[in-house]
Amino acid sequence: MARPDKAAAVSELVESFQESTGAVLTEYRGLTVKQLQDLRRALGENANYAVVKNTLTQIAAKDAGVEGLDDLLLGPTAIAFINGDVVEAAKGLRDFAKANPALVIKGGYFEGKPLEASEIAKLADLESREVLLGKLAGAMLASLSQAVYLLNAPLAQAARLAGALQAKAEEDPSILAGGAGAPAAQDAGTAEETAPEEPAAEEGATDTGATDEAADTTEA
């Protein structure tokens, strides 16, 4: 490879290291061109899979400030530069390696720290970012709904009490009058009890009339 071409390749690798959140180094010996294409499609937007030269990658990694990859840059190497979900990319590589044993995961790095192949396998066993965010959002909504319920519970109870009081007032308006209707009922009852005393006075009047008639007869 001519010097300008090497410089351009190194520059491109440096850019890939700097712009990616992580990378997984693999050995692809034994994979066909079609299988490599299938792997790129399987990774989708989560990673950019590229065959690289070890010496140029060592230079690029050093220029990008990435350490701990020298021992992995042995034999035919291809790197999956992760641009999307790291967990999904790790899952894609793991699943493809299970179906195609010729793909060997050597190791990699994530957020500037080197990763062993076993650590990448652990990443692949994690739930995806979307699932974790969904669970977090669900937990937050549950906590929020509980907080809203606790805050609104006294108000709801007050509303139910007011509703019950209003319904009772429709049946007995004296409730809203502070019990003012009760004495009125008692006064009415008292009036009814004293009313029968009037006929007694009439009886007295009748007796007086009879005495007057008897007196008139005697005089006659």
Q: Binning pLDDT at 50, 70 and 90, where does residue 85 land?
A: confident
Q: Report pTM.
A: 0.57
Distance of alpha carbon 173 from alpha carbon 15, whole angstroms: 82
What is the model's pLDDT at position 4?
A: 77
40 and 112 in a single domain? The answer is: yes
140 and 101 in a single domain? The answer is: no
34 and 121 in a single domain? The answer is: yes
pLDDT digits (tens, 9 = 90+) for 90-135: 999 999 999 999 999 999 998 878 999 999 999 888 865 555 566 5
154 and 189 in a single domain? The answer is: yes
Q: Binning pLDDT at 50, 70 and 90, where does residue 55 land?
A: very high
What is the model's pLDDT at position 140?
A: 62
25 and 98 in a single domain? The answer is: yes
Overall domain count for the chain: 2
Q: For residue 51, what are the β-bridge partners? A: 78
Most confident region among 41-45, 52-56, 140-144 by mean pLDDT: 52-56
Does pLDDT of 211 surpass 70? no
139 and 79 in a single domain? The answer is: no
13 and 100 in a single domain? The answer is: yes
| Long-range Cβ contact pairs of 128-132 (< 8 A, separation 24 or more) | 128/85, 128/87, 128/88, 128/91, 129/85, 129/87, 129/88, 130/85
Residue with tokens 């294409």: 37
What is the model's pLDDT at position 46?
A: 87
By three-state DSSP, how is residue 220 classified? coil
For the chain, what's the residue count?
220
Domain boundary among 92, 126, 160: 126
* C-beta separation of 88 from 128 below 8 A: yes
H helix intervals, 172-196 = 181-194
122 and 133 in a single domain? The answer is: no
Domain of 84 in residue numbering reads as 3-126
CATH code for the domain of 104 = 3.30.70.1730
Per-residue tokens: 121: 């396998």
What is the model's pLDDT at position 124?
A: 87
Give the relative orientation of helices 86-99 and 117-125 as an angle to the nearest 10 degrees. 110
Residue 22 lies inside a defined structural domain of this protein: yes
CA 47 to chain centre: 29
12 and 100 in a single domain? The answer is: yes
pLDDT digits (tens, 9 = 90+) for 1-39: 668 789 999 999 999 999 999 999 999 999 999 999 999
